[in-house]
Chains A and B, each alone.
Chain A
């Protein structure tokens, strides 16, 4: 599904097909969110950027030259809106996107729950370390990895458009940044 060409969805949505539009939203809202968060926008600013980007697509949808590449079009539009948002504020929001929210815990667990909680705590410990390690990466790596975390997985052309990098550099940079992330993890385990 994620690898399907979205070109026909664009054509259908341009003809007023609300279901096709919704499918585009399902396919790309994760990517747009990941890009706004990779630029460390607050939730409110990220919501503005996302909504503006979708409104722009709606107005441009019958004029997009290469409908199959609508994901890259959206990624480029999102990047520009993020930069405008940052410049309008002339500041970025400090690492809010990498803070950890503790899951609610029972105050008085049963024995079985204690056993389960123990393995959950280990998982959560690993997750917390991983999340914090991503937050410590150099900017370019942190941005790339946050965008790759989008669901469904973005295409490299979309990641490249989001970061204004050549598409050929995404694969090697990903490998290097994941390596770097492993080193960060290794240092704190």
Chain B
């Protein structure tokens, strides 16, 4: 399939049009540039393995409801289940670490970092978070030699 020259011309015209009519907002480029500094080199990554917004089978629909989103992150050793609820003041987060363990959970989001504790059942919660990207950083209890865990970023 060879490109027709007039197609290339029209595409070029369209590209110039988009640059004038709907350019990339500069603050978006700024935020992207700063993203590398959020990286945790020493931490283990817990990947997103389930998201009720993407898995729309019947079992999921029963458990989730509008305004309530269920996500799971996993490393080979543990699972972090998170429920995100939409409220008038932003997003509430309730989580469960399995196997159950005490830990410090840092919720990284647009307004900064909110720190909360997981109890001996592995449960933690935080309220009134800002919408936007969110990731959890889970630090094991003092004396535990394991590295911290960070989850994939999620837009809440």
A101: which B residues are within 8 A, CB to CB?
A: 21
Residue B36 is within 8 A (CB to CB) of chain A in the complex: yes
Chain B residue numbers with a CB within 8 Å of A61 are 39
A25 CB within 8 Å of chain B: yes
Instruction: Fill in one digit per residue for A125-164: 1 if any B CB lies within 8 Å of its CB, else 0.
Output: 0010011001000000000011011110100000000000
The yes or no answer to A92 lying at the interface (CB within 8 A) is no
B25 x A48 contact (CB < 8 A) = no
Q: Does A58 lie within 8 Å of B14, measured CB to CB?
A: no
Q: Which of B33-92 contact A (CB under 8 A)?
A: 33, 35-36, 38-41, 45, 51, 53-54, 66, 69
Interface residues of A in 161-175 (CB under 8 A from B): 171-172, 174-175
Does A57 belong to the interface (CB within 8 Å)?
yes
CA distance A72 to B117 in the complex (A): 38
Structural contact, A33 and B28, CB atoms closer than 8 A: yes
Return the CB mask of B1-45 against A: 1 if under 8 Å, else 0: 101100100110111011111101101110111011011110001
Interface membership of A39, Cβ < 8 A: no
* B138 interface residue per 8 A CB criterion: no
Mind listing 27 A-B residue pairs with CB under 8 Å?
Answer: A21-B36, A25-B32, A46-B28, A47-B28, A48-B133, A48-B155, A51-B31, A54-B35, A59-B135, A60-B45, A84-B51, A85-B155, A88-B53, A88-B155, A90-B66, A97-B22, A130-B13, A130-B14, A131-B17, A148-B14, A148-B15, A149-B14, A149-B17, A175-B4, A178-B7, A181-B10, A182-B10
Task: Mark B residues whose CB is within 8 Å of A.
Answer: 1, 3-4, 7, 10-11, 13-15, 17-22, 24-25, 27-29, 31-33, 35-36, 38-41, 45, 51, 53-54, 66, 69, 131-133, 135, 150, 152-155
Q: Which residues of A line the B interface, CB within 8 A?
A: 13, 16, 18, 21-22, 25-26, 29-30, 32-34, 37, 43, 46-52, 54-61, 63, 80-81, 83-85, 87-88, 90, 97, 100-101, 127, 130-131, 134, 145-146, 148-151, 153, 171-172, 174-175, 178, 181-182
